[in-house]
A and B are shown apart, each in its own frame.
Chain A
Amino acid sequence: MKRRTLGLAQEKTSKIEDKTSSVSEIISAVFRHYIVRRLVFFLFVIWLAATVIFIIPRLSGQDPVKEKLLLEAQRGGALQTGLDEMAKTYQKRFGLDRPMYIQYGNFLLDLVRFDLGTSIAYYPRSVASIVYDSILWTIGLVGTVTILAFSLGTLAGAFLGWPRRPGWVQYLFMPLLTLSAIPQYLLGLILIFIFAFHLEWLPLFGAYKPGTVPNLSLDFVFMVLRHAILPACAILLAAVGFWAIGMRGMMINTQGEDFMIQADAKGLKGARIFLRYAIRNALLPQVTGVAISLGTIITGAILVERVFLYPGLGDILFQAIRLSDFFLIRGIVMTIVFSIAIATLILDLIYPLIDPRIRTKT
């Protein structure tokens, strides 16, 4: 009897020991998992961006609200006496008089709740509502066009990089190359001049005719589409070239690989080699390229919106800059960073689906 209990007791203690040491093992095992790493990185980026955005204005020692008030005062022609009082009230309202770490904490908490604060220029509208209104336009235009440009460009690039392509495809190369070298918003300007101003085929700016109330009627939808053609073309043409050149390069690289020779040696049909061997492998770095160039795409789109006065996020950002609306600027920047981070995360999660080597790698 005694022996047995002793034995059991011994077992128990050793089990507890195992447990404590395995906690750290569990953590490192979990961390090695690809998805978890990506999620953690995602949160880290958001947090870092938020912190940076929080710190930058504080660094210059200026008080954003006070600056804004002074600016307004200058414009309005009022005197500066009552200004300090006004500034104090504003500060209290926006919580700027509390110590730094409390402000920081509040800021982060608000972010988690998607509360981006209140706009100064469009007071009392909340930043979130302004952003929400304009982000739909941006996603509609930039989102769809980017996906379209990626698909078309990658396809074109695949053909361009394949030695057994149909003859006429070759002639696409130079124009695509030229297009990829021109910044998007410039292309926008050129397009505006030719098609909107000179030929007057398409409207000059905006998402819809100024003065019309947005509704869901067929007429309105058509008008929106008509207005979207030029900015869409600007983004599309510039981006297509970029993806095409990239994919072509990847295709050329892939063809030097040993398994391509082997595919030929196996006597496989050309189409199969093209799709399953060449494109399938060249696509991997191409998708990585998307993740890397997301930042550039977004900034390019913002500028295009500026040129076309399209009421998306870019236009709002510009207005906010012009009006020195500190909170709105901050909110928009956070939104953009967040969108890019989410898009990157989605891409990271897609990647293991197309590259089996990542699936089992820890």
Chain B
Amino acid sequence: MSQASSQKPPSKRFSLFYEERLEPIFGYGKRNPSLLVGIGLIFTLMAFVIAGYLFYDHENYRVTSVSTRKGPSFVEKMQQGTTAALWTDATANIFGDAQLLPAGETYVIEAQFPLQRGGSKAVENPFAEAATLGKAKITAGSEAEVESWVDLVAKEDYRGAGKKDGSGGDFTSNLTVTLVDKGDSHRAEISVFNNGPEDVYLTKLQARGVPLTLSQALPFGSDTQGRDLFSVAIRGIPLTLRIGIIAGAVSVGLGTIMAFVAAYYRGWPDTIIRTVVDTGMAIPSLLILILVRINIGRELSVDELGLGIAVVGWVFPARVIRAQVLVMREQAYVEIARLSGTSAPSIIFKEMVPNLIPYITAQFVASVAGAILASIGLEAIGLGKLSDPTLGMTIYWNIQFSSIVLGMWWWWLPPLITIIMVFMGLFMISAGLDEWSNPRLRKRV
């Protein structure tokens, strides 16, 4: 055939190629529009991610906060009239720590001065109303754009803890300041000045991001910890998809191997594998994963999660593929191959697997969907890596910080839409593949 076609003129060759190879594919697509819709959905997501990677500064997906070297909470006595500072450069300072505060974002300076350390006696607030406890100064940019002492007022945002009449406990003063984008430099200096009448204890000094709604600088807004949600989306979607693909590929691969070993060789390998598969399906995999994760103790990276899900999840494709192999095994062409002395692996790979490819592909898509579902489930409970911006972890943070109640729709809506798109897309792809992969429909010649 190829000889004949190579002698034809190029235009004829192409039309032959089109007829034989491409047209069936286009025809299939036309008959099964859901396949195209599904691919389109996934494609849109990927396009979004790629565009974001190329054109957007997506570094700010981590929680933005700057605190002292000792951590956000500590105990440090500040004498009256002294200054404590949170530096971002290396000048000697008990608090200093070099970190970056991305510009163009808004921060909350939190300085905490407890009224009382220990004990339960009620103490009057020694600071009169509107007394200035201290001042905070922020210097950002090489050209000190914002440099001013701002009052930390005791009354402002006073939060009494412990007693009903407000006495006793700690109080925190919060102050919101916006760092204006001014070129490359992103350092900030935050100083606190004890302006009160007495020595106080400083127990917290940090600057952290705030939840903001959509803006030009933050297309998806920010969450309660100041993360740029657009970056989170750009970074997180590929991570979640990666879990799905790794878990899907490994579980289908492992499942296929097990299915063939069981169905082709029968005997006791079949009994063992079949028992394992049946048991594996009876015990919910999520629970096993929870247990494993708890006992491993540490957080699981994206790849580890993928492998873990695959290790528990291979039983599902295995059961289904095994049934198929059992049927195929009895068919005439396998019998012939066996009788003509072909070795078993050769039969498996040359005769059976090619016929199973459509079916395995369908299983793969289903596995990916299931894996993503499982990963989101695990992460939503809080068992993923806290610093990974995957879709599941985003849901987790949403639940943790009650974003719905706080009305922060920009936080939960994008991941919701993304998840819907992912699942709808995968579902439509698998529905579209049904004609190709469903063994029952293979009556066509």
**A residues in contact (CB < 8 Å) with B:** 41, 44-45, 48-49, 52-53, 56-57, 59-60, 62, 64, 67, 177-178, 180-183, 185-186, 189-190, 192-193, 197, 204, 253, 256, 292, 294-296, 298-299, 302-303, 306-307, 317-318, 321-322, 324, 326, 329-330, 333, 336-337, 340-341, 344
A-facing mask of B3-29, CB < 8 A → 1, else 0? Answer: 000000000000000000000000000
Q: Is the CB of A48 within 8 A of B279?
A: yes
Q: Does chain A have a CB within 8 A of B416? A: yes
A-facing mask of B278-289, CB < 8 A → 1, else 0? Answer: 110111111110
Q: Is the CB of A333 within 8 A of B291?
A: yes
Main secondary structure of the interface of A (DSSP, over half): helix
In the complex, identify which listed stretch (B153-161, B259-267, B300-308, B420-428) lies at the interface while the others stay far away. B420-428
Contacts of B285 in A (CB 8 A): 295
Enumerate 10 A-B pairs (CB-CB under 8 Å) in ascending A order: A45-B283, A57-B295, A181-B420, A181-B423, A181-B427, A183-B377, A197-B407, A295-B281, A337-B283, A337-B287
Main secondary structure of the interface of B (DSSP, over half): helix
Contacts of B373 in A (CB 8 A): 183
Q: Is the CB of A45 within 8 A of B279?
A: yes
Contacts of B288 in A (CB 8 A): 52, 56
Residue of A nearest to B381 (CB): A318
State the CA gap A64–B294 with chains docked (Å). Answer: 10
Of the candidates A44, A62, A190, A298, the one whose C-beta lies within 8 Å of that of B279 is A44
Q: Is the CB of A56 within 8 A of B295?
A: yes
Q: Does chain A have a CB within 8 A of B419? A: yes
Contacts of B275 in A (CB 8 A): 44
State the CA gap A324–B420 with chains docked (Å). Answer: 32
State the CA gap A340–B290 with chains docked (Å). Answer: 17
Contacts of A41 in B (CB 8 A): 278
Closest Cβ of chain B to A323, distance in Å, is: 11
State the CA gap A197–B409 with chains docked (Å). Answer: 11
Given A62-B297, A192-B404, A299-B377, also A45-B282 (CB < 8 A): yes
Contacts of B427 in A (CB 8 A): 177, 180-181
Q: Is the CB of A306 within 8 A of B404?
A: no
Q: Is the CB of B405 within 8 A of A299?
A: no
Within 8 A of A (CB), among B355-410: 373, 376-377, 380-383, 395, 398-399, 404-405, 407, 409
Q: Is the CB of B420 within 8 A of A60?
A: no
Q: Is the CB of A336 within 8 A of B381?
A: no
Q: Is the CB of A183 within 8 A of B423?
A: yes
Contacts of A329 in B (CB 8 A): 290-291, 294
Q: Is the CB of A204 within 8 A of B405?
A: yes
Closest Cβ of chain B to A103, distance in Å, is: 15
Closest Cβ of chain A to B413, distance in Å, is: 9
Given A56-B292, A193-B404, A329-B290, also A303-B281 (CB < 8 A): no
Contacts of A186 in B (CB 8 A): 395, 416, 419-420
State the CA gap A146–B279 with chains docked (Å). Answer: 23
Q: Does chain A have a CB within 8 A of B440? A: yes
Given A182-B423, A183-B376, A253-B440, also A322-B284 (CB < 8 A): no
Of the candidates B294, B416, B419, the one whose C-beta lies within 8 Å of that of A321 is B294
Q: Does chain A have a CB within 8 A of B445? A: no
Closest Cβ of chain B to A228, distance in Å, is: 19
State the CA gap A292–B281 with chains docked (Å). Answer: 7
Q: Does chain A have a CB within 8 A of B296? A: yes
Q: Is the CB of B295 within 8 A of A59?
A: yes
Contacts of B382 in A (CB 8 A): 318, 321-322
Closest Cβ of chain B to A92, distance in Å, is: 22
Of the candidates A181, A189, A253, A340, the one whose C-beta lies within 8 Å of that of B284 is A340
Q: Is the CB of B423 within 8 A of A337?
A: no
Q: Is the CB of A321 within 8 A of B423?
A: no
Q: Is the CB of B284 within 8 A of A298?
A: yes
Contacts of B283 in A (CB 8 A): 45, 48-49, 52, 295, 337, 340
Closest Cβ of chain A to B319, distance in Å, is: 9
Contacts of A64 in B (CB 8 A): 295
- The list of the 6 closest CB pairs from A to B, nearest first, reads A295-B284, A299-B286, A181-B427, A57-B295, A181-B423, A60-B295
Contacts of B440 in A (CB 8 A): 253, 256
Q: Does chain A have a CB within 8 A of B87? A: no
Given A189-B404, A204-B405, also A336-B279 (CB < 8 A): no
Within 8 A of A (CB), among B180-228: none
Contacts of A190 in B (CB 8 A): 416
Closest Cβ of chain A to B293, distance in Å, is: 9
- Find the residue from A52, A56, A181, A324 having the highest chain B CB count within 10 A: A181
Q: Does chain A have a CB within 8 A of B113? A: no
Beyond contacts A60-B296, A181-B424, A183-B376: 19 other A-B pairs, Cβ-Cβ < 8 A, are A45-B283, A49-B283, A56-B292, A178-B424, A180-B427, A181-B426, A183-B373, A185-B380, A189-B395, A193-B412, A197-B404, A204-B405, A295-B283, A306-B399, A307-B399, A318-B382, A321-B381, A321-B382, A321-B383
State the CA gap A358–B203 with chains docked (Å). Answer: 72
State the CA gap A186–B421 with chains docked (Å). Answer: 12
- Find the residue from B283, B288, B373, B395 having the highest chain A CB count within 10 A: B283
Q: Is the CB of B282 within 8 A of A340?
A: yes
Q: Is the CB of B377 within 8 A of A303?
A: yes
Contacts of B292 in A (CB 8 A): 56
Of the candidates A180, A197, A340, the one whose C-beta lies within 8 Å of that of B405 is A197
Closest Cβ of chain B to A314, distance in Å, is: 9
Closest Cβ of chain B to A354, distance in Å, is: 21
Closest Cβ of chain B to A69, distance in Å, is: 14
State the CA gap A1–B175 with chains docked (Å). Answer: 117
Of the candidates A182, A197, A321, A341, the one whose C-beta lies within 8 Å of that of B282 is A341
Residue of A nearest to B34 (CB): A177
Residue of B nearest to A53 (CB): B291
Residue of B nearest to A59 (CB): B295
Closest Cβ of chain A to B266, distance in Å, is: 18
Closest Cβ of chain A to B365, distance in Å, is: 12
Closest Cβ of chain A to B289, distance in Å, is: 10
Contacts of B395 in A (CB 8 A): 185-186, 189
State the CA gap A295–B373 with chains docked (Å). Answer: 13
Q: Is the CB of B416 within 8 A of A189?
A: yes
Contacts of A344 in B (CB 8 A): 282
Closest Cβ of chain B to A235, distance in Å, is: 14
Of the candidates A180, A182, A185, the one whose C-beta lies within 8 Å of that of B420 is A182
Contacts of B426 in A (CB 8 A): 181
Closest Cβ of chain B to A138, distance in Å, is: 14
Contacts of A192 in B (CB 8 A): 404
Contacts of A59 in B (CB 8 A): 295
State the CA gap A340–B281 with chains docked (Å). Answer: 10
State the CA gap A340–B377 with chains docked (Å). Answer: 19
Q: Is the CB of A183 within 8 A of B419?
A: yes
State the CA gap A197–B398 with chains docked (Å). Answer: 15
Closest Cβ of chain B to A102, distance in Å, is: 21
Contacts of B278 in A (CB 8 A): 41
Q: Is the CB of A299 within 8 A of B291?
A: no
State the CA gap A180–B427 with chains docked (Å). Answer: 9
Contacts of B295 in A (CB 8 A): 56-57, 59-60, 62, 64
Q: Is the CB of A56 within 8 A of B405?
A: no
Of the candidates B287, B419, B420, the one whose C-beta lies within 8 Å of that of A336 is B287
